[in-house]
């Protein structure tokens, strides 16, 4: 039986070298990457964002997996992702078993919208298990850059499962007036119920932005607890990862126009410090158009199942073919998914900067 040929890697794919591997807990490992000289701009990131890694697979050639950055952009010169083994999780187990310094791994540029706009505001951070990874990046950045007070509630099975335990202790000791860390251990207190979470957060929840990440059951309890505490549900931000199907590392191929096609629309796109004007075929997703033009727009799955390519529709009309991740409140605020976006008017303005 002949093997399926490996698709050509896209021009947007980058390669990073592993500089260090850190055992955080018996089942969690941090992978530190060097940033190639000259590529610093491409790997600029915000606290709370993630990397998409190309993990080798004998069965399919590769699989794509997203891992949050636990490094802090203001303090770390290298990139660090933290990976926790999951039962039957191919990507996490391969990385924990095989990655060592010197190995090279293909990645996509940092992306994601689980980010903070104002680090001077008071925050609530909720994490369950490996959900501490993006939360840790946000926490360190807020303490470094901002002035607000932070409450962190971190739930784990037991004391041995607490990732970054020593770092959290040091941060709390160094910032006693700004940081309160509450560890919830299932081995001592049972599962964190909505009532328990609500009681803990009730004194501080009313007007704070909340950022939370963790397993599904924890997130459900956390949301219910926040609701009981009187929190404004519009101020809740959560990071949700879903399995990536297909190959987001493959080169983008734009179909040639055929006779009878409508004239392309025009897209005006704000990205980082530049404004791009591109011709936008009516049947081609915006992300594909940008990547084909060498414009490094953020993305991960290319299937509408993650938030990596989220941007804001400023003017004009466009529609998403599929939305498997954006909350109704986010859509109301103008967020759209670039990988699923088709133009409905002749001119459409999009920004990735807000």
Give all domains of the chain, ordered by start, each with its CATH number.
14-111 (2.40.30.10), 123-239 (3.40.50.80), 265-351 (3.10.20.30)
Cα of 57 vs its chain's centroid, Å: 23
Contacts of 135 (CB under 8 A, 6+ apart): 48, 125, 126, 127, 152, 154, 211, 212, 213
Look at the block and give the residue holding tokens 């919208």. Answer: 113
| Predicted local confidence at residue 1, as pLDDT | 36
Predicted TM-score (pTM) of this structure: 0.89
Structure confidence by residue, pLDDT tens digits, 86-137:
888 889 999 999 999 999 999 999 998 899 999 999 999 999 999 999 999 9
Query: How is residue 71 written in tokens?
Result: 């490094």
Supply the DSSP symbol for 263: P
Closest to 321 in 3D by CA, of 296, 308, 302: 302
Q: What string of DSSP letters covers 266-310?
A: EEEEEETTEEEEEEE-TTS-HHHHHHHTT-----S-SSSSSSTTE
Predicted confidence at residue 253, as pLDDT, reads: 84
In 3-state terms, what secondary structure has residue 170? helix
Residue 4 is predicted with a pLDDT of 46
Return the residue matching tokens 């001119």: 347
By 3-state DSSP, what share of the chain in percent is helix, strand and coil, each rounded to 5?
Answer: 25, 30, 45
* 210 touches 237 (CB < 8 A): yes
The backbone torsions φ and ψ at residue 144, rounded to the nearest 5 degrees and listed phi first, read -75, -45
Below-70 pLDDT ranges, the chain: 1-7, 60, 258-260
């Amino acid at each position: 039986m002949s093997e399926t040929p490996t698709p050509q890697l896209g021009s947007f794919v980058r390669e990073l070298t592993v500089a260090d591997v850190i055992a955080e807990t018996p089942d969690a490992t941090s992978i530190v990457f060097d940033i190639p000289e000259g590529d610093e701009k491409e790997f600029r990131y915000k606290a709370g964002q993630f990397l998409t890694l190309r993990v080798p697979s004998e069965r399919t050639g590769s699989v794509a997996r997203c891992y949050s950055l636990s490094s802090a952009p203001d303090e770390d010169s290298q990139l660090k992702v933290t990976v926790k083994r999951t039962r039957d999780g191919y990507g996490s187990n391969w990385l924990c078993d095989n990655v060592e310094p010197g190995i090279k791994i293909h990645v996509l540029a940092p992306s994601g919208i689980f980010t903070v706009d104002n680090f001077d505001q008071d925050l609530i951070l909720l994490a369950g298990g490996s959900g501490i990874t993006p939360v840790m990046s946000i926490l360190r950045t807020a303490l470094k850059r901002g002035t607000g007070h932070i409450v962190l509630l971190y739930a784990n099975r037991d004391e041995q499962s607490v990732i970054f335990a020593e770092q959290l202790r040091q941060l709390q000791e160094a910032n006693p007036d700004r940081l309160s860390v509450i560890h919830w251990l299932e081995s001592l207190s049972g599962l964190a119920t909505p009532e328990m979470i609500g009681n803990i957060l009730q004194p501080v929840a009313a007007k704070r932005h909340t950022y939370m990440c963790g397993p599904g059951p924890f997130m459900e309890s956390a949301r219910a607890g926040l609701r009981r505490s009187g929190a404004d549900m519009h101020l809740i931000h959560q990071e949700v990862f879903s399995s990536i199907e297909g190959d987001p590392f493959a080169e983008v191929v734009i179909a040639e126009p055929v006779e009878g096609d409508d004239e392309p629309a025009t897209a005006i796109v704000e990205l980082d410090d530049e404004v791009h004007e591109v011709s936008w075929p009516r049947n081609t997703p915006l992300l594909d158009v940008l990547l084909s033009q060498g414009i490094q727009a953020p993305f991960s799955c290319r299937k509408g199942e993650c938030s990596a390519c989220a941007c804001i529709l400023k003017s004009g009309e466009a529609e998403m073919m599929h939305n498997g991740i954006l909350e109704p409140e986010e859509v109301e605020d103008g967020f759209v998914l670039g990988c699923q976006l088709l133009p409905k008017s002749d001119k459409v303005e999009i920004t990735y900067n807000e």
